[in-house]
Amino acid sequence: VILLVSLTVVRALPRSYRDTGEKTSIGQRFSQLQEDNFKAIAMVMFAQYVPGGTFGKAVKMAEDVTALARRCAAADRDSPDCLQPLDRIFLDTICQEEELPGFSDCCAKKDPERNDCFLTLKNSSRGFVAPFERPNAEAACKNHSQHHQPLAGHFIYEVSRQHPFLYAPTILSVALRYEEMMNKCCGSAGDPALNAEECFRRQAPKVVKPVKEDGLRQEHTCGILKKFGERTLKALKLAQISQKFPKAAFATVTKLVADVADMHEACCRGDMLDCMHDREEILRYVCANQGILSSKIKKCCEKPLLQRSECIVNAEPDDKPADLSPHVREFIEDKGICERFAQEKDTHLARFLYEYSRRHPEFSPQMLLRIAKGYEDLLKECCRAGAPHNCCSRGEEELKKHIYETESVMKTSCDIYKAKGDYYFQNELLLSFTKKMPQLTSAELIRFTKQMTTIGSKCCQLSQDKLLPCAEENLDLVLGEICRRHLRDPINPGVCHCCSSSYSFRRPCMGKLEIDENYVPLALTPGLFAFHEDLCTTEEEQLQHKKQEMLINLIKYKPRITQEQLSSVTAAFASMRERCCGEENRQACFAREGPELIKRSEKLLAA
């Protein structure tokens, strides 16, 4: 579910610690976080700002800053060094280091230009660092027993330099999971029965999951802000916060929306100090004001500050107020509607979205934005001169129709998923998306449709009131990934239109895409369909992957293939595979039968 981290974080505080006279000093920060957390966050900061530096350099810089912070927290809090802004202290530390390539230009600038220069370098470092590899079990356990602290520090360093924009407390919480995995999998030396390799295989996904999920959510939010602007992001946050905190007053929610959007500006800009400070203050504010926000976050607020965010993100939406009327007919029936719309358009639309969202936790935020757009279009039409007297009354019928259509699409998809299961459901998606986006590689098509299949397994088992938010919010993440892929390397005009025209209509738009008419089908070259004895593997997952690659190539060769033709080709392939895998010389059989199958299929597809 895309309850982006900002959902948890609503605040009525200054926009940035740099906009206020009251700034947190390094000594105060040290006292708040305690030494271990402070040093770990310093390590994250230096690894994110200097991803090309060595582990040793990052450790040295983190230790230097921690020593200063310790001194400032104890006795020297009024010395000039201790009163410097935090970002300046961090950048000064980097600029004082010798043998750090590529930073001399930035270090020659004055603040705030120096900070902006570092952020530009940070942006360009994405993809520069190789991914963190899961360690060899024996070597990892030996290292863990001999070098306990350096190993944890090395993990923080590696994850940070791979993810220069990831929120520091997320990295620290992942480091804690890594520590737990090492303790669990390495066990005691006297327990030979424990299979460390198998343990790492099972536990490693749990360690990297929050990095992937938080990184994806953050990139997704920043993608919305960059492509559709602040107004769209604010509308999305308004819907999400109203659903999460239905008891909060409209004035509170709109103030929170503005603050959250501003916080994302800092986070998406890559200014981690500003981003982290804002989020921490937001969490403090939320927990200090539970009474007017939510009754569901009490346990979260009892956790240490660094663990609160994830807990509040995953907390259930609060119960609706008991006296909340089920309908919002006053937005259609009141006589002064057109006057209010003319005088304060955005405020009126925001109030409608707030009132509708807090009443409907069973709808996805994207659907709520579509409903709000429909309401805006209705008022534009019905408030013009000469509009029929009962013009607004048709709004309810159109609303019911949209809700029915959205719920029907989700229900149909879940019915197919339940009937076919993971593999065959993914094949249906591959058939559809290869026709819509044949320019994507086989690996991309398999990855995106696999993600969609996972959404089916996760959401289709839920009750009706949770299905839509689960399905559409998760789909929105995948479509966001496809659209970011399109920005890097354009796919086709249809995808371009869906990714650019409207955020809330992105999912229905992609659903309506059909065959890309401008696509030139693949030529039938000898290597397009190569049949080898590895098709006889007993590894089901490996076999399915090979068959899916062939399915994609088949559709790229014949985009207008009918279901009947596909069934015939699939049956012929299955028959050939069974026959050849039963022979002693499998490769010779495939070399003989493969070209024959291609000839028969070509004739069949030409019909």
User: Tens digits of per-residue pLDDT, 182-235?
Assistant: 888 887 544 544 577 888 888 888 888 878 788 888 889 988 998 999 999 999
| pLDDT tens, position by position, 513-536 | 999 999 999 888 878 888 888 899
Q: What is the mean pLDDT of residues 94-118?
A: 84
Say which residue, 469 or 170, is predicted with more confidence.
469
The answer to whether residues 66 and 42 touch, using CB atoms and an 8 Å cutoff, is yes
| Mean pLDDT of all residues in 52-72 | 91
The answer to whether the beta carbons of residues 259 and 248 sit under 8 Å apart is no
Distance, in Å, from the CA atom of 82 to the CA atom of 75, rounded to the nearest integer, reads 10
Mean pLDDT (whole number) for 156-172: 84
Structure tokens at 12: 């009525």
Give the C-alpha separation, 80 to 71, whole Å.
Answer: 12
Range picked from 8-12, 84-88, 447-451 for highest mean pLDDT: 447-451
565/605 Cα distance (integer angstroms): 7
* Number of H-type helices and E-type strands within the chain: 27, 0
The pair of structure tokens assigned to 294 is: 């939510």
Q: Which of 164-173, 255-264, 293-302 has the highest mean pLDDT?
A: 293-302
CA distance linking residue 287 with residue 16, whole number of Å: 19
| pLDDT, tens digit (0-9, with 9 covering 90-100), for 348-379 | 999 999 999 999 999 999 999 999 999 999 99
Classify 102 in phi/psi space as left (phi over 0), alpha (psi -120 to 50) or beta. left
Specify the pLDDT at position 10.
27
Confidence of residue 1 (pLDDT cuts 50, 70, 90): very low
- Cβ atoms of residues 432 and 475 within 8 Å: no
Residue 366 pLDDT: 96
236 phi/psi in degrees, rounded to 5? -60, -45
Please give the structure tokens belonging to residue 185.
Answer: 């999998």
Q: What's the confidence (pLDDT) of residue 581? A: 92
Secondary structure of 148-196 as H, E, C letters: HHHHHHHHHHHHHHHCCCCCHHHHHHHHHHHHHHHHHHHCCCCCCCCCH
Tally of CB atoms within 10 A around 389: 7
Model pLDDT, residue 17: 35
Q: What is the pLDDT of residue 12?
A: 28
Domains and CATH numbers, the chain: 22-208 (1.10.246.10), 229-317 (1.10.246.10), 408-512 (1.10.246.10), 533-606 (1.10.246.10)
Average pLDDT on 327-348 reads 87
pLDDT at 376: 93
Residue among 516, 470, 520, 478 at smallest CA distance from 494: 516
Q: Is the pLDDT of residue 592 over 60?
A: yes
Cα 221 to Cα 4, 265, 369, 491, distances in angstroms: 8, 10, 16, 22
d(CA 556, CA 560): 9
CB 480, CB 224: distance < 8 Å: yes
| Predicted confidence (pLDDT) at residue 311 exceeds the cutoff of 90 | no
Other beta carbons within 10 angstroms of residue 252's beta carbon come to 17
- Helix (H) / strand (E) element for 76: namely none
Q: What are phi and psi of 15, to 5 degrees?
A: -65, -35
- 191 annotated as ligand-binding: no
φ and ψ of 270, to 5 deg: 95, 10
Long-range contacts for 550-554 (Cβ within 8 Å, ≥24 apart)? 551/427, 551/430, 551/431, 551/434, 552/430, 552/434, 552/442, 552/445, 552/446, 553/442, 553/522, 553/528, 553/529, 554/529
Q: Are the CB atoms for 555 and 435 separated by under 8 Å? A: yes
| More reliable by pLDDT, 549 or 530 | 549
Query: Is the predicted pLDDT of residue 131 greater than 90, yes or no?
Result: no
Task: Let me know: does 312 contact 10? Beta carbons within 8 Å.
Answer: no
58 and 157 Cβ atoms separated by less than 8 Å: yes
CA angle 368-373-376, nearest 5°? 130
Mean pLDDT across the chain, nearest whole number?
85
Higher pLDDT, 607 or 91: 91
Q: How confident is the model at residue 7 (pLDDT cuts 50, 70, 90)?
A: very low
Amino acid 20: pLDDT: 38
Backbone angles phi, psi at 457, to 5 degrees: -65, -30
Average pLDDT over residues 42-55: 87
What's the confidence (pLDDT) of residue 150?
Answer: 67
Rounded Cα distance, 522 and 520, in Å: 7
Is the CB of residue 34 less than 8 Å from the CB of residue 161? Answer: no
**For residues 318-341, average pLDDT:** 86
The more confident residue out of 23 and 170 is 170
DSSP track, 354-394: HHHHHH-TTS-HHHHHHHHHHHHHHHHHHTSTT--TTGGGH
Residue 102 vs residue 590, higher pLDDT? 590
Report the 3 state secondary structure along 473-511: HHHHHHHHHHHHHHHHCCCCHHHHHHHHHCCCCHHHHHH
Listed in sequence order, the residues at least 6 apart from 550 whose beta carbon sits closer than 8 Å to its beta carbon are 529, 573
**How many CB atoms sit inside 10 A of residue 573's CB?**
20
pLDDT for 9 equals 28
The whole-number average pLDDT for the span 299-310 is: 82
CA angle 301, 304, 309 (to 5 degrees): 60
DSSP conformation letters of 334-350:
-TTHHHHHHHSHHHHHH
- For residues 157 and 168, the answer to whether their CB atoms sit within 8 Å is no
* Least confident piece of the model among 147-156, 344-353, 433-442: 147-156
Q: CB of 5 within 8 A of CB of 256?
A: no
Q: Does the pLDDT at position 604 exceed 80? A: yes
